[in-house]
Amino acid sequence: MPERLAEMLLDLWTPLIILWITLPPCIYMAPMNQSQVLMSGSPLELNRLSEEQRILNRSKRGWVWNQMFVLEEFSGPEPILVGRLHTDLDPGSKKIKYILSGDGAGTIFQINDITGDIHAIKRLDREEKAEYTLTAQAVDWETNKPLEPPSEFIIKVQDINDNAPEFLNGPYHATVPEMSILGTSVTNVTATDADDPVYGNSAKLVYSILEGQPYFSIEPETAIIKTALPNMDREAKEEYLVVIQAKDMGGHSGGLSGTTTLTVTLTDVNDNPPKFAQSLYHFSVPEDVVLGTAIGRVKANDQDIGENAQSSYDIIDGDGTALFEITSDAQAQDGIIRLRKPLDFETKKSYTLKVEAANVHIDPRFSGRGPFKDTTTVKIVVEDADEPPVFSSPTYLLEVHENAALNSVIGQVTARDPDITSSPIRFSIDRHTDLERQFNINADDGKITLATPLDRELSVWHNITIIATEIRNHSQISRVPVAIKVLDVNDNAPEFASEYEAFLCENGKPGQVIQTVSAMDKDDPKNGHYFLYSLLPEMVNNPNFTIKKNEDNSLSILAKHNGFNRQKQEVYLLPIIISDSGNPPLSSTSTLTIRVCGCSSDGVVQSCNVEAYVLPIGLSMGALIAILACIILLLVIVVLFVTLRRHKNEPLIIKDDEDVRENIIRYDDEGGGEEDTEAFDIATLQNPDGINGFLPRKDIKPDLQFMPRQGLAPVPNGVDVDEFINVRLHEADNDPTAPPYDSIQIYGYEGRGSVAGSLSSLESTTSDSDQNFDYLSDWGPRFKRLGELYSVGESDKET
């Protein structure tokens, strides 16, 4: 193929190349418009032009050229000549040099700087770059000075048919409904050609079908694919493969071509009716099957798919239309026959149904093909089964008076075995529904008797469950609910509806209603309650109160006179007899308490206590309570004050856990005991100022300046501790700057030759708890007190 293309191009362009080369230099290129045509001749000839011509004619440049063209994909043994540059300033003395710059200068295009010939030194591809813009200039050979301004020109790459058409979006897929008419559009495809669509027919495409006929056709120019046959049936063939060709050069011989594939799928339409696979279906079902159970399935096949194959099933005829129903399964596309009502083998042993299947979605375009439905016959055989007992009623309602005698029959339930064998039945009560065992049942005849007394006021209804069991097969059990209503009898006497307490004003008037009371009765007579009220026979002529029956079945108590005095009698008790209208009537006596109270002028009760009379004038009970509370508070304050004073008078005892800060001077250094004579000197423990008798207090600032008093001479290092302390005590007692209270003086000197040994913790082999401080009593009264303090401290720690 490439060899043929090269030969064709060579035959086409060889005469043009030869003509190009043989033309004079001044007309190498095709002439441009009048403003771009340059005349050949020397500058001298241009100078001879008349002044008028200079004014009337444009100044013409000295270049002779036009656009240049070069074929793409040209590859020869030598560079291809594109064109030649020449200026009329060139006398042929070889003093002019031609320079080329711009797109591809030096790399793609090369110029002979003497002759101005331009050659293409590389193979060109128009699809990569269609034209190149270059600039030419003539300069002096020796000085390289421009002889003329630079001129720009274009080299265009001429196209050849070197690219085949391509289907960039292939392969293609399309759908078309089945049974479509002739010429129905399926889809369209598009091919592209990289060649120049303007120049020649290299990019002019023509489409055709290589495979897929006679089912489909294609428009040569637009590439629209259409159906070529009418009524293509999806059920016969669903998918078609079409091979499409696009050829350039207008489809003529020698053009390049490309192909692609198109897969056409026929979509389904509802053009087929459903059809049952069988004309008769047989099913069998036990008579004790649960309602709603699926008995069998029937299916009508449809060659269509999707919603076009959906069918609805109905029972249109038969002797079991009331006992069976059919539903459609959308997934399996079949009909499910289910039991709608209970079956009885002893009543009827078989049923026949006529079932119809019809398409749900019907296409009116194909309605002429016939009815889109089908029918079949279904025969159902009922099988005998051991059924549980059947009660004569689904529920029972019994009534019994609450005073019924024990073991009396209050009702009866009956049940039978529906099977042919007719097994005997045994009755029982489900004790989960009769936890108190108030009822019994005869196991043979189903009579229900009373086991414990009933009380309607506690429970009006009793709901129990009776169980019927076949004697021959204990697994066959039936249950039935029994509701027992307890009927009322007059066994409760009426009484006050609540605890009443009446209040009578001392300034009340005769005939005034003191209290209105009502009665209640736990019984529930059919005609409602009606109560009779009366006083006790011995109180019929009560001088103080009387009663009056109201229309609303209540009772009003009235005062017969005024002038009641609570100092004489504070409380009155009025017994009242209440009777009902039962048969026989019952009655009870309820006592009403009436208190005499002091009331305001408008009848508002203020006080009902006799103690109110003994209270001082102007003081109420609340005021007395407030006074008493104040007295108690004062007593509490006095007790607290005395207690605090007692605690302040107790002597101050310093214990180990107390923190004494005011008069204690602490020294954190300890000596090595009485044997340590180097660490501390007793002279350093004695204040140097004390030699002269001057011992200033450092814990307080003295108010007065005084003359140093004559003190005692310093004791030597061998002085006894007792003597050392006596000296210091005498100095503290005579110190005018000392505080007016006892203070603790601390000295670090322990003395020498102590009987008790060292008080220092250094080199001590015993713990504090092992030490005995009784020896301090031998040192004098002061150390005796110190020993007692330490003994108390150690005992507290142990405790």
Q: Look at residue 670 in the predicted model and tell me its pLDDT.
A: 59
Of the listed ranges 17-21, 83-87, 739-743, 745-749, the least confidently predicted one is 17-21
Residue, of 572 and 44, whose pLDDT is higher: 572
Q: Look at residue 756 in the predicted model and tell me its pLDDT.
A: 52
Of the listed ranges 155-159, 493-497, 573-577, 699-703, the least confidently predicted one is 699-703
Q: Look at residue 623 in the predicted model and tell me its pLDDT.
A: 78
Which is nearest to 502 in space by CA: 439, 547, 437, 445?
547
> For 273-316, what is each residue's pLDDT tens digit?
999 989 999 999 998 889 999 999 999 998 888 888 889 999 99
Q: Look at residue 530 in the predicted model and tell me its pLDDT.
A: 81
The dihedral sign for the CA sequence 220, 225, 226, 228: positive
Is residue 32's pLDDT more than 90? no
DSSP string, 87-145: BTT--SSS-EEEEEEETTBTTTEEE-TTT-EEEE-S---TTT-SEEEEEEEEEETTT--
> For 167-215, what is each residue's pLDDT tens digit?
988 899 999 999 999 999 999 999 988 877 777 787 889 999 999 889 9
State how far the Cα of 503 lies from the Cα of 487, in Å rounded to an integer: 41
Is residue 71's pLDDT more than 50? yes
Q: What is the pTM of this model?
A: 0.42
DSSP string, 583-594: SS--EEEEEEEE
Is residue 90's pLDDT more than 80? no
Q: Are 179 and 197 in contact (CB under 8 A)?
A: no
The residue written with tokens 């798919």 in the block is: 305
Query: Where does the pLDDT of residue 457 fall: very low under 50, low under 70, confident under 90, or very high at 90 and above?
Result: confident
SS3 percent helix, strand, coil of the chain, rounded to 5, is: 15, 30, 50
572-591 mean pLDDT: 85
HEC readout, 406-463: CCCEEEECCEECCCCCCCCEEEEECHHHCCCCCEEECCCCCEEEECCCCCCCCCCEEE
> For 461-489, what is each residue's pLDDT tens digit?
999 999 999 998 898 999 999 999 998 88
Of the listed ranges 225-234, 448-457, 759-768, the least confidently predicted one is 759-768
Of the listed ranges 287-296, 381-390, 431-440, 516-525, the least confidently predicted one is 516-525
Domains of the chain: 67-158 (2.60.40.60), 166-267 (2.60.40.60), 275-383 (2.60.40.60), 390-487 (2.60.40.60), 495-606 (2.60.40.60)
435-440 mean pLDDT: 93
Is residue 684's pLDDT more than 70? no
Is residue 143's pLDDT more than 90? no
Mean per-residue pLDDT over the chain, rounded: 77
DSSP string, 625-650: HHHHHHHHHHHHHHHHHHHHHHHHTS
> How many residues does this entry show for the chain?
799
Is residue 33's pLDDT more than 60? no
Q: Look at residue 395 in the predicted model and tell me its pLDDT.
A: 95
Is residue 340's pLDDT more than 70? yes
> What percentage of the chain has pLDDT greater than the value 70?
74
SS3 346: coil
Q: Look at residue 24 in the predicted model and tell me its pLDDT.
A: 33
Q: Give the CA distances from residue 592 to residues 492, 496, 507, 515, 700, in Å, rounded to whole numbers and listed in that order.
A: 20, 9, 21, 9, 88
> What percentage of the chain has pLDDT greater than the value 90?
27
State how far the Cα of 325 lies from the Cα of 335, in Å rounded to an integer: 10
439-451 mean pLDDT: 94
Which is nearest to 9 in space by CA: 123, 170, 88, 144?
123
Query: Where does the pLDDT of residue 439 fall: very low under 50, low under 70, confident under 90, or very high at 90 and above?
Result: very high
Is residue 141's pLDDT more than 80? yes
- Residues 406, 407, 412: CA angle, nearest 5 degrees: 130
The dihedral sign for the CA sequence 3, 9, 12, 14: negative
Q: Look at residue 182 in the predicted model and tell me its pLDDT.
A: 92
Query: Where does the pLDDT of residue 757 fall: very low under 50, low under 70, confident under 90, or very high at 90 and above?
Result: low
Is residue 441's pLDDT more than 60? yes
DSSP string, 657-697: T----SS----------TT--SS--HHHHS-GGGGGT----
State how far the Cα of 239 lies from the Cα of 571, in Å rounded to an integer: 113
Q: Look at residue 639 in the predicted model and tell me its pLDDT.
A: 92
Residues 6 or more apart whose Cβ sits within 8 Å of residue 720: 751
Is residue 521's pLDDT more than 50? yes
Burial (CB count <10 Å: 0-12, 13-18, 19+), residue 241: exposed
